């Protein structure tokens, strides 16, 4: 599986494994879901920075999208990740 943003499933797994900050909830009205949409930013093993957006449904993790974050997304994550 490769997303439309040219992110492989392996890179998504690497980002989950490398995550050192918290997981944030997307609270924007147009992005609210049940269960909630969650996201984080982390590096792959090769140093590629990715934003991973997902839903946690019980034990299942459903990836909504994954892509290289922009500066504003990085700023928000750095501010609230701890």
Q: What is the pTM of this model?
A: 0.92
Q: In degrees to the nearest 10, what's the CA dihedral of 49, 40, 71, 7? A: 40
Collapse the DSSP code of 31 into the 3-class scheme (helix H, G, I; strand E, B; otherwise coil) and give the result: helix
pLDDT digits (tens, 9 = 90+) for 6-24: 999 999 999 999 999 999 9
Q: Please tell me the predicted confidence (pLDDT) of residue 2.
A: 60
pLDDT digits (tens, 9 = 90+) for 22-59: 999 999 988 889 999 999 999 999 999 999 999 999 99
Contact 22, 81 (CB under 8 A): yes
């Amino acid at each position: 599986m490769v997303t439309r943003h040219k992110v492989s499933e392996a890179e998504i797994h690497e980002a989950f494994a490398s995550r050192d900050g918290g997981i944030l909830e997307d609270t924007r009205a147009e992005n609210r879901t049940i269960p909630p949409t969650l996201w984080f930013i982390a590096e792959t093993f090769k140093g590629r920075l990715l934003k991973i957006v997902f839903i946690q449904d019980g034990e299942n993790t459903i990836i909504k999208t994954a892509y290289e974050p922009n500066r504003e997304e990085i700023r928000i994550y750095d501010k609230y990740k701890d």
